[in-house]
Structure 1
Amino acid sequence: AFAKLNAKKEQRDIKVTRSGRTEMISIYDVLAGDIIHMEPGDIIPVDGIFVDGSDVKCDESSATGESDAMRKTPGAAVMKALESGQPAKNLDPFVISGAKVLEGVGTFMATSVGEHSSFGQIMMSVRVEIEATPLQEKLGKLAMAIAYLGTTAAGILFFVLLFRFVGGLSGDNRSASEKGSAFMDILIVAVTIIVVAVPEGLPLAVTLALAFATTKMLKENNLVRILRACETMGNATAICSDKTGTLTTNRMTVVAGTFGTTSFVHADSANSDKDKTISAWASQVSPAAKELLIQSIAINSTAFEGQEDGKPVFVGSKTETALLELAKDHLGLVSLSETRDNEQVIHMFPFDSAKKCMGAVVKLPNGQYRLVVKGASEILLSFASEFAHFETLEAEPLSEEHRQVLTDTINAYANRSLRTIGLVYRDFPQWPPADAALTEGGSVDFASLLRDLTFFGLVGIQDPVRPGVPEAVRKAQKAGVTVRMVTGDNMQTARAIATECLIYTEGGLVMEGPDFRRLSTEQLDEMLPRLQVLARSSPEDKRILVTRLKALGEIVAVTGDGTNDAPALKAANVGFSMVSGT
Structure 2
Amino acid sequence: MQIIRQPWSITNEDVIKLLETSNKGLTEKEAKNRLVNYGTNTFHNKEKINILSLFLKQFINPLIFLLIGASIITVILKEWVSTFVIIFSVLLNVLLGFYHEYHAENTLDKLKSYIKDRARIIRDGREQEIDSSLLVPGDILKLSYGFRVPADARLLTVNNFQVDEAILTGESIPVGKNEKLVPITAIISERKNIAYSGTLVVQGYATAVVCSTGNETEIGKIAGIVSELNRTDTPLKKGVDHLAWLIFFIAIVIVFVILILGVLRGEQLLPMLVLSAAVAVGAVPEALPIVLTVILAIGATRIADKKGIIKKLAAAETLGSATLIMTDKTGTLTKADMQLLGIYTKQELISSEFHKEDQKLFSHDQKKLLEFALSNLDITIEDREEDKKKWIFKGRPFEVDIAKACILHNISFSTINSFSSFIVLPFNSTNKFSVSLKDEKYIIMGAPDVLLKKSNVSKEEYLKLESWIKTTSESGKRLIAVGTISKKHVKNNISPQDIESINFLGMFVFYDPIRPEVPAAIKNIESHGIKIVIVTGDLKGTAIFIAKSLDWAVIENEVITGNDIRDLSDEELLIIIPKIKIFARVTPEDKLRIGKLYQKLGEIVAMTGDGVNDAPALKAVDIGI
Do they superpose with TM above 0.5?
A: yes
Aligned residue in 1 for 2:555: 509
The answer to whether structure 1 residue 312 and structure 2 residue 391 are counterparts is yes
Q: Which residue of 1 aligns with 2:402?
A: 323
Correspondence for 2:148:
43
| Equivalences for residues 349-428 of structure 1 within 5 A | 349=429, 359-362=432-435, 372-374=445-447, 380=449, 384-385=452-453, 395-399=456-460, 403-404=463-464, 419=477, 421-423=479-481
Match of 2:299 in 1: 213
**In the alignment, which residue of structure 2 is the partner of 1:149?**
250
Distance 1:341 1:490, change over 3 A: farther
Q: Distance in 2 between matches of 1:116 and 1:332?
A: 52
Q: What SS does the aligned partner of 1:261 have? A: helix
CA distance in 1, matches of 2:204, 2:339: 30
Determine if contact 2:160/2:204 at 8 Å carries over to the other structure. Answer: yes
Structure with more helix by fraction: 2
The answer for the alignment partner of 1:259 in structure 2 is 345
Distance in 1 between residues matched to 2:551 and 2:167, nearest whole Å: 38
* Pairwise CA distance, 1:139: 1.9
1:5 corresponds to which of 96, 107, 113: 107
State the AA in 1 paired with 2:301. Answer: T
Alpha carbons of 1:568 and 1:359: their partners in 2 closer, same or farther (altered >3 Å)? farther
Equivalent position SS for 1:195: helix
5 Å matches for 1:223-234?
Answer: 223-234=309-320
Q: Which residue of 2 aligns with 1:193?
A: 279
Structure 1 counterpart of 2:54: none
Equivalent residue number for residue 471 of structure 1: 520
Query: 1:217 and 1:258, CA in 2 relative to 1: closer, same or farther beyond 3 A?
Result: same
Q: State the Cα RMSD in Å.
A: 6.2
Q: Provide the rounded CA distance (Å) in 1 between the counterparts of 2:437 and 2:579.
A: 52
1:574 to partner: Cα distance? 3.7
Tell me the distance in 2 between the aligned counterparts of 1:111 and 1:514: 32
After TM superposition, the structure 1 stretch with the greater mean CA deviation from structure 2, 144-153 or 244-253, is: 244-253
Q: 1:423/1:191 Cα in 2 relative to 1: closer, same or farther (>3 Å)? A: same
For 1:510 and 1:554, locate their aligned partners in 2 and report how far apart those are by CA, in whole Å.
24
Match of 1:267 in 2: none
**Alignment partner, residue 423 of structure 2:** 343
TM-superposed deviation, 1:42: 2.3
Report how far residue 468 of structure 1 moved. 4.7
Contact 2:149 2:199 in 1 (8 A): yes
Assess, with a 3 A threshold, how the Cα gap between structure 1 residues 454 and 162 changes in structure 2: closer, same or farther: farther
Q: Map residues 418-457 of structure 1 onto 2, 5 A cutoff.
A: 419=477, 421-423=479-481, 456-457=505-506
How far the C-alpha of 1:462 sits from its partner, in A, is 7.3
**Contact 2:446-2:481 within 8 A present in 1 as well:** yes
Structure that is richer in strand per residue: 1
Q: Match for residue 446 of structure 1?
A: none
Other-structure match for 1:278? 362
Q: Which amino acid aligns with 2:525?
A: A
What residue number does 1:481 align with?
530
TM-score normalised over the length of structure 2: 0.55
Distance 1:43 1:418 in 2: 26
Paired with 1:243 and 1:24, the residues of 2 have a C-alpha distance of 37
8 A Cα contact 2:423 2:436, kept in partner:
yes
Alignment of 1:429-578 (within 5 A): 456-460=505-509, 466-485=515-534, 488=538, 491=541, 494=544, 498=547, 501-504=550-553, 508-510=554-556, 517-518=563-564, 521=568, 531-532=580-581, 537-540=584-587, 543=591, 549=598, 552-566=601-615, 569=618, 572-576=621-625
C-alpha displacement at 1:219, in angstroms?
Answer: 0.8
Cα distance change of structure 1 residues 404 and 53 upon mapping to structure 2, 3 Å threshold: closer
| Partner SS for 1:42 | coil
Is the 2:152–2:217 Cα contact (8 Å) retained in structure 1?
yes
Which residues of 2 match residues 101-140 of structure 1 at below 5 A? 103-104=204-205, 123-127=223-227, 128-129=229-230, 132-140=233-241
Give the 3 Å change call, closer, same or farther, for CA 359–236 of structure 1 in structure 2. farther
- Asked if the contact 1:13/1:24 (under 8 Å) is kept, the reply is no
Deviation at 1:216, TM superposition (A): 1.4
Aligned-pair CA distance for 1:189: 2.0
* Deviations 1:200-249 (CA, angstroms, capped at 9, x unpaired): 76566545533432221111122234555444433433334455654456
What code does the residue aligned with 1:509 have?
I
Q: Secondary structure at the match of 1:222?
A: coil
Write the distance in 1 (CA, Å) between the matches of 2:586 and 2:320: 26
Q: Identify unmatched segments of 5+ residues in structure 1.
A: 73-91, 168-182, 264-269, 351-357, 388-394, 435-448, 577-582
Amino acid in the other structure paired with 1:538: R
Structure 2: runs of 5+ lacking an equivalent = 1-102, 122-126, 181-192, 350-355
Q: Is the 8 A contact 1:158 1:190 kept in 2?
A: yes
Cα deviation per residue 1:470-513 (whole Å; 9 max; x = unaligned)? 43322222222233456758859955x64563422xxx415797
Q: Check 1:359–1:248 CA distance in 2 against 1; reply closer, same or farther (3 A cut).
A: same
Distance change in 2, residues 1:491/1:40 (3 Å):
closer
Q: CA 1:548/1:219 → structure 2, altered by over 3 Å: closer, same or farther?
A: same
Asked if structure 1 preserves the Cα contact closer than 8 Å seen for 2:446 and 2:482, the reply is yes
Query: Contact 2:233 / 2:622 at 8 angstroms: preserved in 1?
Result: no
Q: Give me the whole-angstrom Cα distance separating, in 2, the residues matched to 1:107 and 1:489.
A: 28
Shift of 1:396: 2.3
Contact in 1 for aligned 2:539/2:585 (Cα 8 Å): no
Residue by residue, what CA displacement relative to the aligned partner does 1:29-87 show, whole Å, maximum 9, x if unpaired?
x799999986533235579999x999898969799989784879xxxxxxxxxxxxxxx
**TM-superposition CA deviations, 1:250-269 (whole Å, max 9, x none):** 67764632212369xxxxxx
In 2: Cα distance, 1:161 partner to 1:111 partner:
73
SS where residue 429 of structure 2 aligns? strand
Give the percent of matched residue pairs that are identical in Structure 1 and Structure 2. Answer: 22
Q: Which residue is 2:94 aligned to?
A: none
Contact 1:420/1:460 (<8 A) preserved = yes
Report the alpha carbon displacement of residue 104 of structure 1 after superposing the two structures with TM: 3.9
The separation in 2 between residues aligned to 1:56 and 1:45, in whole angstroms, is 20
Task: Tell me: CA distance 1:134–1:572, structure 2 relative to 1, closer, same or farther (3 Å).
Answer: closer
Q: TM-score, normalised by structure 1?
A: 0.58
Question: Could you say if the C-alpha distance between residues 137 and 213 of structure 1 is closer, same or farther in structure 2, counting changes exceeding 3 Å?
Answer: same
Tell whether the 8 Å contact from 1:242 to 1:485 is kept in structure 2 after alignment. yes
Quickly say closer, same or farther: Cα 1:563–1:574, change in 2 above 3 A. Answer: same
Cα distance in 2 for residues equivalent to 1:159 and 1:63: 66
Q: Which amino acid aligns with 1:457?
A: G
Distance 1:106 1:461, change over 3 A: closer
CA offsets 1:442-491 (integer angstroms, 9 cap, x no match): xxxxxxx9x99985423455776545544332222222223345675885
Distance 1:575 1:305, change over 3 A: farther
Q: Is the 8 A contact 1:63 1:99 kept in 2?
A: yes
